[in-house]
Structure 1
């Protein structure tokens, strides 16, 4: 997947800094959580090659010349706060979906366990919008404001 996110000029991210400088920012998530595996490194090399070929910088793969052809990139849009699911208090998040799953508004996203009130049942969390699961919180333990899941909508081209 490729996605376009509206970080805005004031965003405290590298993409916000690029906008403030009048430049186009390109970023990627290739494994998450600061991890690297043989598979995620191969995916990263293939993605960079594909980007450089598409932009006309090179004519053939440079970083992964022997890699298998990848599926066509699907462009997604992440532009609204309502596309995310956020923790409202300290607790433990248990997902019910996988990255890349297509989901519907109202569908079960997972459960939130309040570790300070063990007498309470877990809280079922539901998606506010339909889309494709683009991100999932890596760590189970959460604090108020942590993003748990995000869904992005496909951009028809």
Structure 2
């Protein structure tokens, strides 16, 4: 990852670069309409990684009202920027953004055939909590991962 790279909140003028990045991935892509919606949505946080004026990756977090969990809805890294720690950096930033929004945990879904992403999540301490049959548009199974969750105060009984 180039030293001058930085993470920042996405802006409407990032839309063409976000769409170009999405175009490089098979199926289940975010559309221009979806990106515009999330950019304006107070319950979403879209962050981008940029270097030299070039968008190299992004993550999109969603916050459901009344939930202790944030959802990592999407994360993507430009294939030319892979292997430089950007995915780890984006994932760590997603965790920080979730905590800053008052969430105690982060959940995400991943295609079972996306071995690189599953390895990234597991290396970052996420645990697989569910199998999701035919979860994706093309019928591919998914896995749910999570990290964090309920905070149990001393002297209080944990649920369950």
TM-score by length of structure 2 reads: 0.22
Tell me which protein shows more helix as a share of its residues: 2
Choose between structure 1 and 2 for higher RCO, CA contacts under 8 A separated by at least 6 residues.
Answer: 1
TM-score by length of structure 1 reads: 0.22
